[in-house]
Structure 1
Amino acid sequence: MSSASLSSALPPTASASAGSRCNPHLRIPKTLFTFHHPHHHHHPFLLRVTNETSRTEVSTTDPTNERLESDKIVDGMDFGELCNEFECISSPLVESTARQLVRDILELREGNRALGTYAVSVKYKDPVRSFTGREKYKRPLWITGALENPTVRVQEMVMLSTSVLNIKWTIQGKPKSFVAGIGGDLIIRVNSQFTLNQISGQVIEHEELWDLSSSSIIAQAFFWTSRRLFATVEAAKDLADGAKDLSTRFSTKQENTEVYPDPSGDPTKFFQRDDGFQRDVYQIALFLAVLYFVVQFLRTTL
């Protein structure tokens, strides 16, 4: 599939005659995004986008404004050849996932993030934390808790293949710590790579890399300290959730097997099994795990 191009000269009705895989060409008013592209008709594979705000501003009087402002970032992308003469190797859902991911990034979405974009067992990894499971995407972001009025800019968005999406974006904001604030704004250049299921379009792997070379030494120290502390707290939450799930499963099993027949063979005799020891083992294991993460955090920061 060739690259979709953005044109403000086409009227909105032109989209009705477009192919089923082409993006709609709409008349777009002046917005927060600045597109840099050559004047010829065929765009390069990379789409470079600049956004000078931390959120996508949505007009309350125009319900289609949010879709236009987020979707137009993806309109010029090349998603590769989804189908050839013999078979389809990818799904149109890959494109809709890309639109949702960039919307979540620009708006710094937390609790209202579209979890359907991620597979149930999605794997996440960054330099200080990793986890499995999309439910953890519901938790608050480190950005909103550590920075004042953070801004987000998307520089590049490209499909490295029909199943791998790469987004380069920048976070900038003043640390909420008074001491760290002396070092000026914290600038983080993020490289997010998403591996997508080619059929469902869902994210199955998500990896992030950070570049802090544009920040001062003080700002970098604040980032790594606060980020590791954040990762430690999140890991403790993971353990607590895991213990809770295990306890729930065990309780459900106990409800079904609370009374056991006498193994001697007498069907009229029953006895109950004491599970107090097993509960104590779970509690001790949870305490040791939390203690381990606290010790590791102190070793890396002191």
Structure 2
Amino acid sequence: MNASAFTTSSSLTAKHGGCRCRSQCAPSASRLSICQLPQQGRRLRDRDRFSLRVANEPRTEVSTDPSNERSEADKIVDGMDFGELCNEFECISSPLVESTARQLVRDILELREGNRALGTYAVSVKYKDPVRSFMGRDKYKRPLWVTGALENPSVSVQEMVMLSTSVLRIMWTIRGKPRSVFAAIGGDLIVQVNSQFTLNQISGQVIEHEESWDLSASSPAAQAFFWTSRRLFATTEAGKDLAESVKNLSRRLSTERENIEIYPDPSGDPTKFFQRDNGFQRDLYQIALFLAVLYFVVQFLRATL
């Protein structure tokens, strides 16, 4: 299913100063049910819809004004179809999917690093590209490859489409001058990125993120620079991953040791303590106590009967 198959059918009525949305969902999976609230200041009209599929059109470069960047991201998302949220029996998605899509395109256009909205990603999100893969949203806090490898990089979004109610695809382009004297001779590096996000249909969070790259618009020198610098970047990040794993394992083992009960040493200084696990000894005491109670019950019954 692709985004071009989706259509919109919704109605909105006002009551006592508020709003009430009544969506009409068709049984076909190719229908869309979305409520646009009036206070959002947007209406889905055919003449105002933003074209999602761009073919050989001039790219819109990112403005230096943050308000314009946000406006551009909003215009892209406002024109999207998000699939069938509900049918006659149940709702299979939520408006949070749209909120996540809006935030993702914002992060891309602004090349956000440390201030990226991590709430849009699940805690155990999985990321994969041709040279690197990882798990965990904390790794999205790290610096981006593009900011360290290119001078004055610019970003443009060509296409943003929901392939289904849970899969979002964003086609975007990075352009910049390589930070290398030899690579810069070949001109700007142009990377066409295909980002595919799999979303949780209820929470709207990204659970899988996969990227692929097309460098056909770049010179051979720029392409060589890209793959060399990208692999070096991936190796460095993998080293950070390993260091974090060792650190987390050490912290976990330390916590487990602290949770073991502390007993005084009966054979030495009463102020000296040592740690031991007496689970087996406790079980023996409980079994002995049970047998003693059973013995006394049997003896009592024999004496009274």
For the criterion TM > 0.5, the same-fold answer is yes
Native 8 Å contact 1:56 1:70 kept in 2 = no
Q: Which residue of 1 aligns with 2:61?
A: 53
Q: Which residue of 2 aligns with 1:282?
A: none
Native 8 Å contact 1:47 1:77 kept in 2 = no
- Distance change >3 Å, CA 41–CA 53, structure 1 → 2: closer
Q: Which residue of 1 aligns with 2:35?
A: 21
Gaps of 5+ in 2: 1-5, 10-18, 23-33, 277-305
Equivalent of 2:93 in 84, 90, 93: 90
Q: Which residue of 2 aligns with 1:118?
A: 121
- Distance change >3 Å, CA 18–CA 107, structure 1 → 2: farther
- Superposed displacement of residue 247, structure 1: 1.0
State the 4+ residue runs in structure 1 displaced beyond 6 angstroms: 16-20, 42-45
Give the SS at the match of 2:66: coil
Equivalent runs, 1:126-275 vs 2, <5 Å: 126-257=129-260, 259=262, 271=274
| Distance in structure 1 (CA, Å) of the matches to 2:75 and 2:119 | 21
Moved more, 110-119 or 69-78: 69-78
**Structure 1: which amino acid aligns with 2:155?**
V
Q: Which residue of 1 aligns with 2:13?
A: none
1:82-137 CA distances to partner (integer Å, 9 max, x unpaired)?
11121101111001100000000000000000000000000000000000000000
Aligned sequence identity (%): 73
Give me the TM-score of the superposition, normalised by structure 2.
Answer: 0.71
- Distance change >3 Å, CA 74–CA 130, structure 1 → 2: same
- Superposed displacement of residue 148, structure 1: 0.4
Q: Which residue of 1 aligns with 2:7?
A: 2
**Structure 1: which amino acid aligns with 2:218?**
S
- Distance change >3 Å, CA 151–CA 175, structure 1 → 2: same
- Distance change >3 Å, CA 122–CA 253, structure 1 → 2: same
Report the aligned-residue RMSD.
3.2
Q: How many residues align structurally?
A: 244
Q: Which residue of 1 aligns with 2:300?
A: none
| Distance in structure 2 (CA, Å) of the matches to 1:98 and 1:226 | 29
Equivalent of 2:83 in 71, 80, 85: 80
1:171-202 CA distances to partner (integer Å, 9 max, x unpaired)?
00000111111111000000000000000000
1:145-171 CA distances to partner (integer Å, 9 max, x unpaired)?
000011111000000000000000000
| Distance in structure 2 (CA, Å) of the matches to 1:106 and 1:90 | 26
Native 8 Å contact 1:168 1:190 kept in 2 = yes
- Distance change >3 Å, CA 141–CA 44, structure 1 → 2: closer
Greater CA radius of gyration, 1 or 2? Answer: 2
